[in-house]
Amino acid sequence: MKKLALLLSLLLLIGCLTACSTKPASAPETTGAAAPVSEAPDTEPAGTDEPSDLPAETTEAPEETAQPLPSDRITMADFTVETIDGGTFTLSQALQDHELVLVNLWATWCGPCAYEFPFLQTAWEQNQDKVAVIALSVEPSDSLDVIRAYAEQRGLTFPMGSAEGTDLMETFSPGGMIPTSILVDRSGAVTAVEIGAKGSVEEFEALFADYLGDDYQTPSECTYTLICMDMDGKPVPDCAFSFCNDELCVPVQTDDDGTALFIGAPTDYHLQVVSLPEGWTVLKHYSQMEAGPYSSTLIVYLTKENP
């Protein structure tokens, strides 16, 4: 399936898969992917810093475009947000006019977010007749004026606004990692949650391609990418986990690049530790141990146990 092929190419570019979140001073610096933490930065970012060198109640879809969904596939609740151009963005309206909606969660202080935005801008310009984009800042201090200045400095013209008043972050990125891109297909189904920065225009275009065309159908299975790494972003091989739901557990093991793939039905999964390399333990506060009924990337952080 095309989604699997895309994820395999993503793994080859793992050095460019970066993510960040609100970081206290004690959190590790982002090197391969940043750990999610719970506190906001002490100072409000100006929104003008240059990008870092990181390579990092359910509603139905509009009746005109709705198609049968797998029984466990969720739809995204409709929402309307103000945008920095003085207008509004409504999900249900975007679904009537486009084949795909990409909801990007970000913040002005996030280096990996700044890194991927130029690629998203170009990909959107080339596909905006079929693909709608809305970039929503999850930082409470990012007012529309702050976001507008940020966008103008970087030449970003796709719709942007604030995620305040929505529950998108809590629902789709409970680990608090950004950038996170949520993909909503033409039927209103959430089909993937992409965590981490894309490293090229081609990555975004390949992602879009999975959802475009008259022959598209909402997928009946999900692809989960498990990435196991230390707090410096270095891969950790030979980590064994199980994807478990109410009925079964399916084991997976990370390869030399610290990655593993699991393809399963669209349902909720919990990640259980089977075995780890000697001397390692999971930092559960930072790691993502839950997956919802949509394709997604789960990052598990390990640290050396105390002697």
Which residue would you say has higher pLDDT here, 177 or 86? Answer: 86
Local confidence band at 76 (pLDDT 50, 70, 90 cut-offs): confident
pLDDT given at position 99: 96
- pLDDT the model gives residue 35: 31
Q: Is the pLDDT of residue 239 over 90?
A: yes
> What domains sit in the chain, N to C, each tagged with a CATH number?
2-35+61-209 (3.40.30.10), 222-304 (2.60.40.1120)
pLDDT of residue 19: 54
Name the more confident of 224 and 72.
224
Write the burial class of residue 180 (CB in 10 Å: 0-12 exposed, 13-18 middle, 19+ buried): buried
pLDDT of the residue at 170: 85
**What is the rounded average pLDDT of the residues 23-28?**
34
Q: Are 67 and 100 in contact, with CB atoms under 8 Å apart?
A: no
**Mean pLDDT of the 274-301 span:** 90
Q: What is the pLDDT of residue 247?
A: 86
Least confident of 126-140, 161-175, 177-191, 244-258: 161-175
Q: What is the pLDDT of residue 73?
A: 67
Does residue 15 register a pLDDT over 90? no
- Least confidently predicted of 50-54, 101-105, 204-208: 50-54
Instruction: Give the angle subtended at the CA of 262 by the CAs of 66 and 196, to the nearest 5°.
Output: 75
Compare 220 and 201 and report the one with higher pLDDT.
201
Percent of the chain exceeding pLDDT 90 equals 54
Best CA proximity match to 299, nearest among 307, 187, 60, 290: 290
What average pLDDT does the segment 188-217 reach? 91
Q: How far apart are CA 221 and CA 273, in angstroms?
A: 23
Mean pLDDT of 2-6: 40
Which carries the bigger pLDDT value, residue 21 or residue 187? 187
CA 256 – CA 167 distance, rounded (Å): 36
Report residue 70's pLDDT band, with 50, 70 and 90 as the boundaries: very low
Residue 71 sits at the vertex; the CA angle it makes with 65 and 77, to the nearest 5 degrees, is 55
User: In this predicted structure, what is the pLDDT of residue 91?
Assistant: 95
Mean pLDDT score, 291-299: 88
What is the structure's pLDDT at 292? 86
Least confident of 49-58, 63-72, 292-301: 49-58
Confidence grade of residue 72 (pLDDT, cut at 50, 70, 90): low
3-state secondary structure the chain: CHHHHHHHHHHHCHHHCCCECCCCCCCCCCCCCCCCCCCCCCCCCCCCCCCCCCCCCCCCCCCCCCCCCCCCCCECCCCEEEECCCCEEEHHHHHHHCCEEEEEEECCCCHHHHHHHHHHHHHHHHHCCCEEEEEEECCCCCCHHHHHHHHHHHCCCCCEEECCCCCHHHHHCCCCCECEEEEEECCCEEEEEEECCCCCHHHHHHHHHCCCCCCCCCCCCEEEEEEEEECCCCECCCCEEEEECCCCEEEEECCCCCEEEEEECCCCEEEEEEECCCCEEECCCCCCCEECCCEEEEEEEEEECCC
- Reading the block at residue 74, the tokens are 């969720």
Percent of the chain with pLDDT over 70: 75
Closest to 229 in 3D by CA, of 305, 302, 291: 302
The Cα 89–Cα 97 span in angstroms is 12
Per-residue pLDDT tens digits for 32-63: 343 343 333 333 333 444 433 333 332 333 33
pLDDT of residue 127: 97
Q: What mean pLDDT value characterizes the chain?
A: 79
